[in-house]
């Protein structure tokens, strides 16, 4: 490690950004989070608490210098993590561009496929790398961020990130560098196709996935995506204990089979929910256009269609205007008619 505490700036510090920030603070890194005034107000009243499904817990006071609203703090960073919602990617790049020094890595830790390239367009002098957060983080109480599912961070392989790796290891959030980051991103997106299903269900992830009709909806979206990826020549990787191509098969299985196999391949905290559900609860636009919408755009680029994913996009946009839970039978019926 370098002689000084590693300086990390997290731009767009919501649930994911605050969780990663809290873990890095526990490792002794020098972390500054950049976010909205509403979160600044939270930290004036509450500490930053981070926990996970394995029992980890750490708590930090967050002075005004640790959570700010201005991007100029990025001028002193050794690493910048961008965690904004996908719709704000271009604005984030334009805001950060004047401050990020040449040679400082910028990792996009965002949902979707195209955010890193969008950031790079706005920050031509920066080294922007795609990254992937596989786990779910839910704000359980003001200032308390909980990791509810398993997995480790990944980013595009680049020598520039070597100095960061010991800090992530010390934080208990190992960062794996991958030469096949496009495959990583698409494989993560296959799992994220459950985000709208969970948001539409209105129940925690574990409860949703215990009901076969909800899983059948997810399996239909995943099968459609895998067919398009095969047509496009984009390989997938295994992010769980089950080969990616077999995940829709497991999702379609009877409940007793799913429960037995899923316990061995995936750990889900009973309180975990999708970030898309959290956005709905907060009255924010969701990221469905950067998750299922990515599949629709891939289909269009191939001269094909993605009716299942398009239907989920449409339902989520309706849900943003008029939130109401969809039961498993009614949701499956709506998707089957797509």
Walk along the chain (338 residues) and give the pLDDT tens digit of each residue. Answer: 444 679 999 999 999 999 999 999 999 999 999 999 999 999 999 999 999 999 999 999 999 999 999 999 999 999 999 999 999 999 999 999 999 999 899 999 999 999 999 999 999 989 999 999 998 898 999 999 999 888 899 999 999 999 999 999 999 999 999 999 999 999 999 999 999 999 999 999 989 999 999 999 999 999 999 999 999 999 999 988 889 999 999 999 999 999 888 776 666 777 788 889 989 998 999 999 999 999 999 999 999 999 999 999 999 999 999 999 999 999 999 999 98
Query: Helices 194-201 and 307-321 meet at what angle, rounded to 10?
Result: 40
HSE-up of 64 (CA within 13 Å, CB side)? 2
Question: How many Cβ atoms are within 10 Å of 31's Cβ, its own excluded?
Answer: 32
DSSP string, 196-246: HHHHHHTS-HHHHHTSHHHHHHHHHHHHHHHHHHHHHT------SSS-GGG
Give the per-residue pLDDT at 2: 43
Cα 293 from Cα 290, distance rounded (Å): 5
**C-alpha triplet 287, 292, 295: angle, nearest 5°:** 135
Give the per-residue pLDDT at 1: 41
Residue 210: exposure state from Cβ atoms within 10 A (0-12, 13-18, ≥19): middle
Per DSSP, 171 falls in state: T
Domains, the chain, ordered by start: 7-179 (3.40.50.720), 184-336 (1.10.1040.10)
Cα 37 from Cα 296, distance rounded (Å): 35
Residue 233, both tokens: 């020549």
Contact indicator for 111, 291 with CB cutoff of 8 Å: yes
Give the per-residue pLDDT at 5: 76
pTM (two decimals): 0.90
Cα 112 from Cα 133, distance rounded (Å): 11
């Amino acid at each position: 490690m370098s002689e000084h505490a590693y300086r990390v700036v997290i731009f767009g510090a919501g649930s994911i950004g605050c969780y990663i920030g809290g873990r890095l603070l526990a490792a002794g890194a020098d972390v500054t989070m950049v976010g909205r005034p509403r979160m600044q107000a939270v930290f004036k009243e509450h500490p930053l608490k981070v926990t996970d499904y394995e029992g980890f817990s750490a708590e930090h006071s967050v002075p005004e210098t640790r959570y700010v609203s201005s991007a100029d703090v990025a001028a002193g960073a050794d690493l910048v993590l961008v965690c904004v919602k996908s719709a704000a990617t271009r604005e984030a790049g334009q805001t950060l561009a004047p401050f990020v020094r040449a040679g400082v890595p910028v990792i996009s830790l965002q949902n979707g496929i195209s955010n890193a390239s969008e950031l790079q367009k706005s920050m031509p002098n920066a080294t922007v790398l795609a990254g992937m957060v596989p786990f779910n983080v839910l704000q359980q109480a003001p200032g308390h961020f909980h990791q509810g599912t398993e997995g480790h961070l990944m980013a595009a392989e680049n020598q520039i990130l070597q100095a960061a790796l010991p800090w992530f290891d010390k934080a208990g959030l190992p960062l794996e560098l991958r030469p096949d980051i496009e495959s990583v991103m698409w494989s993560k997106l296959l799992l994220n196709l459950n985000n709208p299903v969970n948001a539409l269900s209105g129940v925690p992830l574990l409860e949703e996935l215990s009901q076969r009709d909800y899983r059948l909806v997810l399996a239909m979206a995943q099968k459609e995506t895998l067919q398009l990826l095969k047509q496009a020549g984009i390989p997938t990787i295994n992010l769980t204990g089950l080969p990616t191509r077999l995940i829709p098969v497991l999702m379609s299985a009877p409940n007793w089979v799913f429960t037995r196999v899923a316990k061995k391949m995936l750990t889900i905290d009973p309180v975990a929910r999708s970030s898309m559900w959290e956005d709905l609860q907060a009255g924010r636009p969701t990221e469905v256009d950067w998750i299922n919408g990515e599949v629709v755009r891939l289909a269009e680029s191939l001269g094909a269609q993605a009716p299942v994913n398009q239907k989920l996009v449409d339902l989520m946009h309706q849900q943003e205007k008029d939130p109401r839970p969809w039961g498993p039978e009614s949701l499956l019926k709506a998707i089957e008619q797509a």
